[in-house]
Amino acid sequence: MNRAPGTWQWDDVRFFLAVARAGSLSGAARVLGVGHVTVGRRITLLERRLGVTLLHRTPDGFATTAAGDAVLRQCAAMENAALDLERVAAGRDSLAAGSIRLTATEALAHRVIAPAIAELRKSHPDLCVDLAIGVRSLDIARREADLAVRVGRPSGSGLVCRKLGEVGYSLYASPGYLAEYRMPQRGKGLAGHHLITFTGAPAATSPFFMDESLDGARIALRCDNPLIQLQAAAVGIGIAELACFLGDDCADLVRVWPDQLPALRSVWLVMHEDFRRSARIRVVSSAIADAFRRQRKILQHGGHGGTK
Domains in the chain, CATH or no CATH each: 10-90 (1.10.10.10), 98-164+266-293 (3.40.190.10), 167-264 (3.40.190.10)
Q: Please compute, for residue 51, the number of CA atoms within 13 A of its CA located in the half-sphere on the CB side.
A: 3
Backbone angles phi, psi at 32, to 5 degrees: -85, -15
- Given this model, what pLDDT does residue 166 score? 94
How do the pLDDT tens digits run along the chain, 308 residues long? 444 444 556 677 788 888 888 888 888 888 888 888 888 888 888 888 888 888 888 887 888 888 777 777 777 777 666 666 565 555 445 456 678 888 888 999 999 999 999 998 888 888 888 888 876 665 555 667 788 898 888 777 677 888 999 999 999 999 999 999 999 999 999 999 999 998 876 555 567 899 999 999 999 999 989 999 999 999 999 999 999 999 999 999 999 999 999 999 999 998 877 766 778 888 898 999 999 999 999 999 998 644 33
Q: Are the beta carbons of 208 and 219 closer than 8 angstroms?
A: no
The strand pairing partners of 37, in sequence order, are: none
SS3 218: strand
CA distance 12 to 19: 11
What distance in Å separates the CA atoms of residue 10 and residue 139, rounded to the nearest whole number?
21
Distance CA 291, CA 31 (A): 34
Burial-class residue 227 by CB neighbours within 10 Å (0-12, 13-18, 19+): middle
Q: Give the integer Cα–Cα distance in Å for 113 and 4.
A: 49
Q: Quote the pTM value.
A: 0.67
Whether 81 contacts 141, CB under 8 Å:
no
pLDDT score recorded for residue 257: 94
Count the alpha carbons within 13 Å of 221 in the hemisphere toward its beta carbon: 19
151 DSSP β-pair partners: 267
| Of residues 130, 86, 83, 79, the one with CA closest to residue 109 | 130
Distance separating alpha carbons of residues 237 and 219, to the nearest angstrom? 10
Contact 108, 265 (CB under 8 A): no
Q: How close are the terminal C-alpha atoms of the chain, in Å? A: 63
What is the predicted pLDDT for the residue at 214?
93
Determine how β-strand 263-272 pairs with β-strand 147-151: antiparallel
Count of CB atoms situated within 10 Å of the CB of 183: 12
- Round to whole Å and give the CA distance between 111 and 302: 12
pLDDT score at 307 = 38
Beta strands 98-104; 127-133: pairing state: parallel
Distance CA 116, CA 288 (A): 6
∠ CA 182-188-194, nearest 5°, is 45
Residue 137 pLDDT: 62
* C-alpha to C-alpha distances, 292 to 129, 177, 287, 288, 297, nearest whole angstrom: 18, 33, 9, 6, 9
